Chains A and B, each alone.
Chain A
Amino acid sequence: MAPLLEVKDLRVSFLADAGPVRVLNGTSLSLGSGESLGVVGESGSGKTVLVRTILGLLQPPWQVLEGSVIFNGEDLLKKREEELRHIRGKEIAITSPEPRKHINPLLRVGDQIANVLQAHRDVPRKEAMERAVGLLTAVGLPAPDQMARFYPHELSGGMCQRVIIAMALAHSPKLILADEPTAGLDVTIARQILDLMYDLVRDVNSSLILVSRDLGVVAHYCQRVAVIYAGQVVESARVADFYTGAAHPYSRHLLRAAAAARDERRGAAIRLGQRVVFPDRGCAFASRCPIALPPCKEEAPALEPVAEDHLARCLRRAEVLRGETQL
């Protein structure tokens, strides 16, 4: 069966005054129907840009140089705005890291959800409002019929995120792009939001791309994980395989850093030092990689299989996987 979403060799640049900055550098990933994929990577690695490119939201100075985003057998990058409009919100929905800023401050939340419903379905206002209250109930807001008449500023951050999720689920989309849904929320609320999203997504059998910096979150809520470094997917694996044996040195560092943060053994965290550079040739991670060999600086590795359903972009992936390298 063909995957629901297939991103192939996506290259995206930001046209700055000083010249184009490469942000996505041949990103590829695929996602099956009903599957959940965690996308992890450090700040600036291109996670958010990837999500925005999938929805066709990039406008100048952003520029998609090449690649394709195949959704349901059609290339979204080749579609016109009007065609994309029928996909956005209905087939693919998005949640945001800053829920409060993504709600119109002057519209009552019930009206906003009803607007989303009416954007794709020809339903009378009254029915849309009833459905909006139903969605607010589904996302676990107390007293939803009253809540529908609240303005966004009367809600807490967690409540706003629930409203955003209600909007995202309004049309039971095939794919939900959750860009750091728990940024800025405290841990208990974050946990509730993620549980809620996990349950609701499973109820409507959507696929989920969960962008996060938190490896723990990804381990808990996703089936697969993709690690992004410098605009490239450097490793892609099932969650269980990834956490027991990552095959890319960068992934190993991420995992070690996460474990170190939990154990409060500061010494165990490895400082990678240098900033991210985008070399013209060779592996993007080579300048920071502790096990880089001379060929790493010459030849860019491809994303190749290292085990069953496990891809890594490293020349020494087999050694790393077996744990034979000194990291």
Chain B
Amino acid sequence: MTTQPLPDTRKQPAAPTQGRGQFGSFIAFSRGRPGFLFGLVIVAITIFLACFGAIVAPCDPEHAIPEAGLLPPSPVHLLGTDVVGMDIFSRVISAPRIDLTIALVSTLIAFVCGVFLGVISGYFASGRGIGRVGSETIMRGADIVQAFPIFIFALALVCFRGPSTANVISALAFLNIPYFLRVTRGAVFQVRERPFVEAARCAGNTERGIAFTHVMPNALGPALANISPSIGFAILLTAGLSFVGAGVPKPTPEWGSMISIGAPNMMTGQWWSALFPGLALGVTILGYALVGDGILEFMDPTRRR
């Protein structure tokens, strides 16, 4: 019997991502994804407007000229004026400062807190002792927060501490935590049963180390996917709060309150005062949704090509 030579394993393997930095692979990833690029452009524009919108605006967004109320779009007032004569174009491009700050900051806080609590409550749910107690406490807390009608709860929180941007942010963040918490907890339940978690335990990692280095990254998907709807939800809730006077004080440019100011005029034919802020709101939410989907895909190295 002759011995077959074993195949040579020292040849170079085909390697798609080797040697490429995080940034490089991100650029390669974005290429060939028009939706993601479109989203990135929208996000970039809104961030630019959030920083410089009020400066590049042709008119003072809070200056009312009552005799120039409800003018249709024209070269002077590109998108027309609203019922008290404020320039809608200037207000639409000034609004991201307040809207984005509220939506992004509150969502970010809710994401970080929700994922953290979700991993703890999910990973230690079937344990014993302090972990189990912590897990149950977190879940009952989430139940309590979610048992209240959201809008009423937000209203109560803001009224309790007085209407201001910071209070709207903290109220929205607080209300959003249970959503991030629950989706993360659900994902953790699945991930912690996967063999590599036991392998990590076999290697002698601490339970805390396993929860946050092995389970959490694999359970982030649903929470990341929840970010874009959460941003839209935050903007809408801000608008609602502003509408009843508990959110951003009135003359401050904000899409939600502009829609509520302009809504009555839709009936009498002055469509521009509600349509344009609504359009801006819609396009912004779409942009963040597209970017959110793209990031979700980028985070998963097996789907990254």
Known: A105-B218, A119-B205, A149-B18. A142 touches B10 (CB 8 A): yes
Interface size class of A (residues with CB under 8 A): 35 or more
Which of B4, B15, B195, B202 sits near A154, CB closer than 8 Å?
A: B15
Which residues of the partner chain B approach A142 to less than 8 Å between Cβ atoms? 9-13
Q: B218, A104: Cβ atoms under 8 Å?
A: yes
Known: A104-B196, A146-B19, A149-B18. A55 touches B218 (CB 8 A): no
- A 41-61 contacts with B by CB, 8 A: 55, 57
B interface footprint on A99-129 (CB within 8 Å = 1, 0 otherwise) = 0011111110000000110011000000000
By DSSP majority rule, is chain B's interface helix, strand, loop, or mixed?
A: loop
Q: B16, A154: Cβ atoms under 8 Å?
A: yes
Bound-state CA distance A85–B200 (Å) is 10
Bound-state CA distance A94–B200 (Å) is 11
Instruction: Assess whether B31 is interfacial by the CB under 8 Å rule.
Output: no
Which of B195, B198, B204, B213 sits near A85, CB closer than 8 Å?
A: B204
Instruction: Assess whether A140 is interfacial by the CB under 8 Å rule.
Output: yes
A interface footprint on B205-219 (CB within 8 Å = 1, 0 otherwise) = 111010001100110
Instruction: Assess whether B17 is interfacial by the CB under 8 Å rule.
Output: yes
- B 210-244 contacts with A by CB, 8 A: 213-214, 217-218
Which residues of the partner chain A approach B217 to less than 8 Å between Cβ atoms? 104, 106-107
Instruction: Assess whether A11 is interfacial by the CB under 8 Å rule.
Output: no
Q: B200, A105: Cβ atoms under 8 Å?
A: no
Bound-state CA distance A164–B18 (Å) is 20
Known: A90-B204, A105-B302, A142-B11. A149 touches B19 (CB 8 A): yes
Q: B209, A119: Cβ atoms under 8 Å?
A: yes
Bound-state CA distance A146–B196 (Å) is 23
A interface footprint on B185-199 (CB within 8 Å = 1, 0 otherwise) = 000000000111011
Known: A89-B204, A188-B6. A154 touches B199 (CB 8 A): no
- A 128-184 contacts with B by CB, 8 A: 140, 142-143, 146-147, 149-151, 153-156, 158-159, 164, 167, 170
Instruction: Assess whether A96 is interfacial by the CB under 8 Å rule.
Output: yes
Bound-state CA distance A188–B8 (Å) is 11
Q: A96, B204: Cβ atoms under 8 Å?
A: no
Which residues of the partner chain A approach B32 to less than 8 Å between Cβ atoms? none
Q: B13, A85: Cβ atoms under 8 Å?
A: no
Q: How many whole Å from B197's CB to the nearest CB in chain A?
A: 8
Bound-state CA distance A154–B304 (Å) is 12
Which residues of the partner chain A approach B200 to less than 8 Å between Cβ atoms? 104, 115
Instruction: Assess whether A78 is interfacial by the CB under 8 Å rule.
Output: no
Instruction: Assess whether A93 is interfacial by the CB under 8 Å rule.
Output: yes
Q: A101, B17: Cβ atoms under 8 Å?
A: no
Instruction: Assess whether B201 is interfacial by the CB under 8 Å rule.
Output: yes
Known: A96-B195, A105-B302. A115 touches B213 (CB 8 A): yes
B8's closest neighbor in chain A, by CB? A142
Q: A151, B301: Cβ atoms under 8 Å?
A: yes
Which residues of the partner chain A approach B18 to less than 8 Å between Cβ atoms? 146, 149-150
Q: How many whole Å from B116's CB to the nearest CB in chain A?
A: 18
Which residues of the partner chain A approach B19 to less than 8 Å between Cβ atoms? 146, 149
Which residues of the partner chain A approach B1 to less than 8 Å between Cβ atoms? none
B interface footprint on A60-85 (CB within 8 Å = 1, 0 otherwise) = 00000000000000000000010001
Instruction: Assess whether B75 is interfacial by the CB under 8 Å rule.
Output: no
Bound-state CA distance A305–B102 (Å) is 78
A interface footprint on B94-127 (CB within 8 Å = 1, 0 otherwise) = 0000000000000000000000000000000000
Instruction: Assess whether B269 is interfacial by the CB under 8 Å rule.
Output: no
Which residues of the partner chain B approach A94 to less than 8 Å between Cβ atoms? 199, 202
Which residues of the partner chain B approach A120 to less than 8 Å between Cβ atoms? 204
Known: A115-B213, A142-B10, A154-B17. A105 touches B301 (CB 8 A): yes
Which residues of the partner chain B approach A90 to less than 8 Å between Cβ atoms? 204
Instruction: Assess whether B7 is interfacial by the CB under 8 Å rule.
Output: yes
A60's closest neighbor in chain B, by CB? B126
Q: B11, A104: Cβ atoms under 8 Å?
A: no
Which residues of the partner chain A approach B16 to less than 8 Å between Cβ atoms? 154
Which of A106, A140, A146, A192 sits near B301, CB closer than 8 Å?
A: A106
Q: B17, A116: Cβ atoms under 8 Å?
A: no
Q: B201, A88: Cβ atoms under 8 Å?
A: yes
Known: A87-B204, A88-B204, A154-B17. A188 touches B7 (CB 8 A): yes
B301's closest neighbor in chain A, by CB? A151
Known: A151-B301, A154-B15. A106 touches B218 (CB 8 A): yes
A-B contact pairs, 26 of them (CB 8 A): A88-B202, A89-B204, A94-B202, A101-B194, A101-B196, A102-B196, A104-B217, A106-B218, A106-B300, A106-B301, A107-B217, A115-B200, A116-B204, A120-B204, A140-B9, A142-B9, A142-B13, A143-B12, A149-B18, A150-B17, A153-B301, A154-B13, A154-B16, A164-B199, A188-B7, A192-B6
Please list the residues of chain A having a beta carbon within 8 angstroms of any beta carbon in chain B.
55, 57, 81, 85-90, 93-94, 96, 98, 101-107, 115-116, 119-120, 140, 142-143, 146-147, 149-151, 153-156, 158-159, 164, 167, 170, 188, 191-192
